[in-house]
Structure 1
Amino acid sequence: MSMTTPPGWYPDPATPTVERWWDGTTWTAHTRQATAPTTAVAALPAPGRGRGRAVALGAGAVVVVAAVVAGVVVIVGGDEEKDPGTAGPTSATTTTSAPTSSSSSSPPDEDPTKVFDQINGITLPVIKGWEKPEFTSGGAPTITTVGEYPCPGATNKQCRHGTVSSLSASGTDAATPEAMAKEDIALAADAFFGDDVFGNWLYGDIQSHKQVAARPAVVAGRTGYLVRWQVTTGKGPGGYVQSLVFPSPTGSESPVVVRFAFDAGADGPPLAAMDEITKGILPIGSATGGGVGSSLTPGS
């Protein structure tokens, strides 16, 4: 009988505390912290090893599958073959069952309610009135307000009333999220309201700014810091920018920077959306923020 494993989250053979997404054919790059034990079927190859090789079982052949992370042992016609690096979800049965309710034929990145930042281990929430843009600057994980309009300073260019992007902190000697946020805010203002990569002044350049917020915030279960500016531009109603810095909830907890830019006009999103999005930033695979600094809340 053919044994196939449906797409879903399964224990990573190389890291027992992590689950990896199996798309029905091969392992993907999507990972999350292990949740509850799962029941999978058939041996799957380890990530990066391809699809493995098929073994034809003749009459009298015996298959022994050891459901251990270290590997599997296959005995075919009396010849033993050990491959400690190819263990995947295994089961001694030939029935197919999805391990968890989160299993689906669609990869995690196709979740319409989230944008995944795999490098930093977080998701950005797609709140009401926002969407995943088809194209992003530099490929950074980004959410934007729905729809475009002619930029105030360049009518042949299209702008968005709100944009939020995440990136890894780099090129800084700042040692704390507070110091990084205070250093990054000017870069965020210039990135959104300055000239673009083609030298177009989409908002007529920044004329002035004033700080309207600077405070600790909890993001994805980690204590971070945010700085918010109101900027006046040469064209258009001006706007608000925010730099939010916090340790990544995974790996070495490297600093993550999330930059916000909102138009200040009547068509711009409300400032409350900055806090709503901040609260909705979660570790990949988690439904709650929780964790270090959870006694603080964004906006406190």
Structure 2
Amino acid sequence: MTPPPGWYRDPSAPHLERWWDGTAWTEHRRAPEDAAQPAPTPGPQAYGPPATAPTTPGPPAAGPASGRTPKVVALIAAGAVLLTAIVTGVIVLREDDGGADVDTAPTLATSEPAQRESASETPTPTETASEPSADDPLVVTDELNGFTLPLLNGWVRPRNLAEANVLVTTDGTYECPADFGYCRRGKVISRTASADDGTSPEAIAKADIQDAADDAYDRDLVGRSPFGGIKSHKVVGSGPVSVAGRSGYFVRWRVTTAEGPGGYVQSLAFRSSVGTESPVVVRYVFDAGEDGPPLADMDRFTKGIRPAR
């Protein structure tokens, strides 16, 4: 009778077990799992299989022996200790490296680099200063003629003035040099030009400058002569100028008075941007001398004129 498939003592190597597939010996061998119970050796006298090892291999299957020997248990325990040591070493190394992971995985390179949007070499112009509105506390609005004037440093809105159409004045007063009363070192006044003044900004400015000088430094509206009258004048500037995007013209005089340092008077003419676009005249009156306002403020006022909104 042929023995069933299983692990049996190898006839050619009694210290090992060899797999019997039920018909012949295979090439699969192993150490005995239970040395205390040696596996029987099938042979011709017992079951009839040949004592020589067959050459036909076959897949091993679980043998009848099921218990684990102390050797196997020791191997498992040693493996567990080794695994624990490896894990502990990895953790220690990671802590020494600050816990940083080293990424060894390869990365895929794209076949074509992503195209970046190129920045334009031409800068986009930006508005550096917006036009002030009529509600801006730093501007003064001429509602009648439709424009605003910047309120420069050292200048204030008019207070306690009998003179009409004054937009701004210098802060404070002083005793007039030649007549009783108080004078101001700077004023800016506006008025609407009449048909008699001319039609072009140049003609209007040239026609207005004499009256502007007389009103400021000769005799005032109530007949006083706060500076003792005008002795002479000299044209110190004139020419076209852009006012709020419109063509304008200015004439500037240096006035010498009988008393005091004298001053500068300028007439600026341009067309209004509202209503019938009537010509507008802005007069600048600045005392000369160290106490007078900076002459550059005339240009600052002119550049700061904007249409009223």
Q: TM-score normalised to the size of structure 1?
A: 0.57
Q: Distance in 2 between matches of 1:149 and 1:220?
A: 34
- Please state if 1:257 is matched with 2:281: yes
- Please state if 1:145 is matched with 2:167: no
Equivalent residues of 1:133, 1:142 under 8 A apart: yes
Residue ranges of structure 1 left out of the alignment (5+ in a row)? 1-101, 286-300
Q: Distance in 1 between matches of 2:272 and 2:191?
A: 11
Equivalent positions of 1:183-202 (< 5 A) are: 183-202=207-226
Q: CA deviation at 1:137?
A: 4.2
Equivalent positions of 1:37-52 (< 5 A) are: none
Q: Distance in 2 between matches of 1:118 and 1:137?
A: 19
Q: Distance in 2 between matches of 1:250 and 1:198?
A: 33
Q: Show CA shifts across 1:220-277 (max 9, x none).
A: 2211000000000010001100000000012221100000010111100111110001
Q: Distance in 2 between matches of 1:143 and 1:255?
A: 20
Which of 173, 181, 195 is the equivalent residue of 2:205?
Answer: 181
Equivalent residues of 1:247, 1:254 under 8 A apart: yes
Q: Secondary structure at the match of 1:180?
A: helix
Equivalent positions of 1:100-115 (< 5 A) are: 108=134, 111-115=136-140
- Which position in structure 1 is the counterpart of 2:156? 131
Structure number with bigger Rg = 2
Q: Distance in 2 between matches of 1:177 and 1:136?
A: 29
Change (3 A) 1:269 1:138: closer
Equivalent residues of 1:221, 1:249 under 8 A apart: no
Q: State the one-letter code of the partner of 1:267.
A: D
- Please state if 1:233 is matched with 2:257: yes
- Which position in structure 2 is the counterpart of 1:222? 246
Instruction: Return structure 1 stretches of 4+ with deviation > 6 angstroms.
Output: none
Q: State the one-letter code of the partner of 1:268.
A: G
Q: CA deviation at 1:197?
A: 2.3
Q: Percent identity?
A: 53
Q: Distance in 2 between matches of 1:145 and 1:251?
A: 31
Q: Secondary structure at the match of 1:123?
A: strand
Change (3 A) 1:153 1:280: same
Q: Distance in 1 between matches of 2:162 and 2:194?
A: 17
- If each structure's strand is expressed as a fraction of its own residues, which one has the higher value? 1
Q: Distance in 2 between matches of 1:164 and 1:180?
A: 17
Q: CA deviation at 1:171?
A: 5.0
Q: Distance in 2 between matches of 1:190 and 1:141?
A: 16
Q: State the one-letter code of the partner of 1:212.
A: V
CA RMSD of aligned residues (A): 1.8
Q: Show CA shifts across 1:65-85 (max 9, x none).
A: xxxxxxxxxxxxxxxxxxxxx
- If each structure's helix is expressed as a fraction of its own residues, which one has the higher value? 2
Q: Show CA shifts across 1:34-87 (max 9, x none).
A: xxxxxxxxxxxxxxxxxxxxxxxxxxxxxxxxxxxxxxxxxxxxxxxxxxxxxx
Q: Distance in 2 between matches of 1:249 and 1:136?
A: 28
Q: Show CA shifts across 1:168-188 (max 9, x none).
A: 002515121001101100010
Q: TM-score normalised to the size of structure 2?
A: 0.55
Q: Secondary structure at the match of 2:196?
A: coil
Change (3 A) 1:173 1:188: closer
- Which position in structure 2 is the counterpart of 1:289? none
Greater relative contact order (Cα 8 A, min sep 6): structure 1 or 2?
1
Equivalent positions of 1:4-19 (< 5 A) are: none
Q: CA deviation at 1:141?
A: 4.2
Q: Distance in 1 between matches of 2:295 and 2:210?
A: 19
Change (3 A) 1:198 1:173: closer
Equivalent residues of 2:264, 2:285 under 8 A apart: yes
Q: Show CA shifts across 1:202-221 (max 9, x none).
A: 11110000100011111122
Change (3 A) 1:120 1:202: same
- Which position in structure 1 is the counterpart of 2:306? 282
